[in-house]
């Protein structure tokens, strides 16, 4: 969707599109706020903006996380459009999945993606890099090509041996993503000269700063997708290397890392995007009006109130557990059922049907030990970390909330099942 496509729905066809589950909200023209964007209560993205705007000796690095579906990608895009951020930084945002295979992610892939994307984005926007830097980049490219050629015994594709530095960076990410053999080779080469790659990144960043008088800021999305072991290997075992690029970086990281002892390595620069509080830890019956109003707005900017009965909307919000993506999922599934029964409005029965579908999905994957832990969580609301807790939180079977203290509860759709 383009920015001008974000239109409030007056029928179910358009509403179905507006509740697409993976729809990060890009800023409008000239940094204008996206019409679908909803500012959450006590938004921690403001804390991240303040931290980025504070004075520093070296460009800062931050580690941004939150539960699946809580709106991390949207908040990063919102940060990107902030006028003060635009004034201080030369910002770019990209998904690591565009540059490499996120299932097999390595710290060397991330560094290569940072250098490649910095170069490509600056050139794409018409930026001119100094001849001396281009000469240095071509020298580095030639060294890499020579080593690849040696590893492959001369079997190197045309672009690798003869193409420009622009083509090299454009194709390197694609080959890292699609060709496991090339990925292994490039990692071997990068490993032998990691300081050389970091120097290349820093020289590109310095050239951009000298031209723009703004510090490069890189927002890397989807780095929360790899499993805990890979997250540990990148952000704990190689933390010092990941802090080396001389530009500001916001890394998204797996929420599982926040529930591990290795979290200590990133604690000082970590921010967590919580779910929307709809209840308190001590009173499961009392609704928090601010939370409900926030999610009512989330639905209200996407579709006309005439398309959903007020009681059905309240029910959908309650069952969402305060997770934006879960609410979109419930509404979208409810729309499908309402269309099949040729209705003009979503009713409670449509929401209940959608909730049952989600509950049945959990029923297929939760075992007896999971059920036992979920019952304990439902009663105590306490975060007692264990190896079994982490996957249940990533599945959203357990949802974390924050007020004065952190607490958690089971996903509301599971209550009937438990």
Q: Which residue has the higher pLDDT, 129 or 293?
A: 293
Cα–Cα distance between 127 and 271 in angstroms, integer? 32
Average pLDDT over residues 249-263: 83
What pLDDT score was predicted for residue 326? 95
Name the band, by pLDDT with cuts 50, 70 and 90, for residue 153.
Answer: low
Residue 138 domain boundaries: 45-273
- Domain assignment present for residue 387? The answer is no
Task: Give the CATH number of the domain where residue 152 resides.
Answer: 3.40.50
Report the distance separating Cα 198 and Cα 194, nearest Å: 6
Structure token pair of residue 71: 């709106």
Q: Which pLDDT score is estimated for 357?
A: 95
38 found inside a domain: no
Q: How many CB atoms lie within 10 A of CB 378?
A: 16
Is residue 365 domain-resident?
Answer: no
Q: Has residue 362 been placed in a domain?
A: no
Phi, psi values for residue 170, rounded to 5°: -65, -40
Taking the C-alpha atoms of residue 65 and residue 219, their distance in angstroms, rounded to an integer, is 12
167 falls within a domain: yes
- Kindly report the pTM of this predicted structure: 0.87
Res. 333: pLDDT tops 70? yes
Gap between the Cα atoms of 354 and 333, Å rounded: 5
Q: Is residue 26 one of the residues assigned to a domain?
A: no
- 3-state SS string over 140-186? HHHHHHHHHHHHCCCCCCHHHHHCCHHHHHHHHHHHHHHCHHHHHHH
Tell me the two tokens of residue 204: 């590109």
Residues forming a β-bridge with 406: 402
pLDDT bin (cut points 50, 70, 90) of residue 253 is: confident
Using only the alpha carbons of the chain, give its radius of gyration: 24
Asked whether residue 358 is domain-assigned, the answer is no
Question: Among candidates 132, 41, 35, which has minimal Cα distance to 74?
Answer: 35
320 vs 318: CA distance, rounded Å: 6
Please give the C-alpha separations between residue 228 and each of 96, 105, 137, 398, in angstroms, as whole numbers: 16, 11, 34, 17
In a domain, 279, yes or no: no
Distance, CA of 20 to CA of 228 (rounded, Å): 28
- pLDDT band (50, 70, 90) for residue 178: low
| 390/270 Cα distance (integer angstroms) | 18
Q: What is the 3-state secondary structure (H, E, C) of the chain?
A: CCHHHCCCECCHHHHHHHCCCCCCCCCCHHHCCCCCCCCCCCCCHHHHHHHHHCCCCCCCEEEEEECCCCCHHHHHHHHHCCHHHHHHEEEEEEEHHHCCCHHHCCHHHHHHHHHHHHHHHHHHCCCCCCHHHHHHHHHHHHHHHHHHHHHCCCCCCHHHHHCCHHHHHHHHHHHHHHCHHHHHHHHHHHHHCHHHHHHHHHHHHHHHHHHHCCEEEEEEECCCCCCHHHHHHHHCCCHHHHCCCCCEEEEECCHHHHCCHHHHHCHHHEEEECCCCCCCCCCCCCCCHHHHHHHHHHHHCCECHHHECHHHHHHHHHHHCCCHHHHHHHHHHHHHHHHHCCCCCECHHHHHHHHHHHHHHHHHHCCHHHHHHHHHHHHHCCCCCCCCHHHHHHCCCEEEEECCCEEEEECHHHCCCC
Mean pLDDT of the chain, nearest integer: 86
Q: Can you read off the two tokens belonging to residue 200?
A: 């290349």
Tens digit of each residue's pLDDT (9 = 90 or more) over 273-321: 889 999 988 877 788 999 999 999 999 999 999 999 999 999 999 999 9
Band of the pLDDT at 158, cuts 50, 70, 90?
very low
pLDDT > 70 fraction of the chain, expressed in percent and rounded: 93
Give the count of domains, the chain. Answer: 1
Residue of higher predicted confidence among 43 and 208: 208
């Amino acid at each position: 969707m383009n920015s001008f496509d974000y239109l409030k729905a007056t029928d179910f066809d358009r509403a179905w599109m507006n509740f697409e589950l993976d729809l990060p909200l890009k800023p409008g023209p000239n940094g204008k706020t996206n019409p679908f964007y909803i500012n959450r209560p006590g938004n921690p993205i403001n804390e991240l903006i303040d931290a980025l705007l504070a004075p520093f000796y070296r460009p800062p690095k931050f580690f941004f996380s939150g539960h699946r579906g809580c709106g991390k990608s949207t908040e990063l895009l919102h940060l990107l459009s902030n006028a003060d951020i635009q004034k201080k930084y030369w910002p770019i945002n990209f998904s690591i999945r565009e540059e490499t295979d996120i299932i097999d992610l390595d710290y060397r892939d991330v560094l290569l993606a940072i250098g490649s994307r910095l170069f490509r984005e600056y050139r794409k926007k018409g930026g001119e890099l100094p001849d001396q830097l281009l000469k240095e980049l071509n020298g580095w490219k030639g060294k890499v090509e020579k080593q690849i050629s040696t590893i492959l015994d001369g079997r190197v594709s045309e672009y690798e041996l003869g193409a420009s530095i622009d083509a090299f960076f454009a194709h390197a990410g694609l080959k890292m993503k699609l060709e496991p053999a090339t990925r292994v080779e490039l990692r071997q080469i990068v490993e032998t000269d990691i300081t050389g790659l970091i120097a290349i990144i820093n020289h590109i960043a310095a050239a951009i700063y000298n031209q723009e008088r703004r510090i490069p800021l890189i927002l890397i999305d989807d780095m929360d997708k790899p499993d805990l072991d890979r997250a540990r290997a990148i952000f704990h075992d190689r933390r010092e290397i990941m802090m080396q690029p001389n530009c500001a970086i916001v890394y998204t990281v797996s929420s599982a890392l926040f529930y591990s002892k290795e979290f200590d390595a990133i604690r000082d620069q970590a921010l967590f995007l919580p779910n929307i509080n709809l209840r308190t830890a001590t009173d499961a019956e009392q609704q928090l009006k601010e939370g409900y109003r926030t999610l009512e707005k989330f639905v209200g900017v996407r579709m006309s109130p005439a398309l959903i009965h007020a009681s059905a909307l309240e029910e959908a919000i309650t069952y969402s557990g305060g997770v934006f993506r879960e609410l979109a999922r419930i509404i979208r599934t409810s729309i499908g059922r309402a269309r099949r029964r040729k209705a003009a409005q979503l009713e409670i029965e449509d929401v209940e049907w959608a909730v049952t579908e989600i509950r049945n999905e959990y029923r297929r994957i939760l075992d007896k030990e999971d059920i036992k832990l979920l019952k304990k969580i439902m009663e105590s609301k306490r975060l007692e970390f264990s190896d079994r807790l982490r996957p249940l939180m990533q599945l959203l079977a357990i949802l974390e909330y924050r007020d004065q203290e952190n607490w958690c509860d089971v996903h509301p759709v599971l209550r009937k099942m438990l």
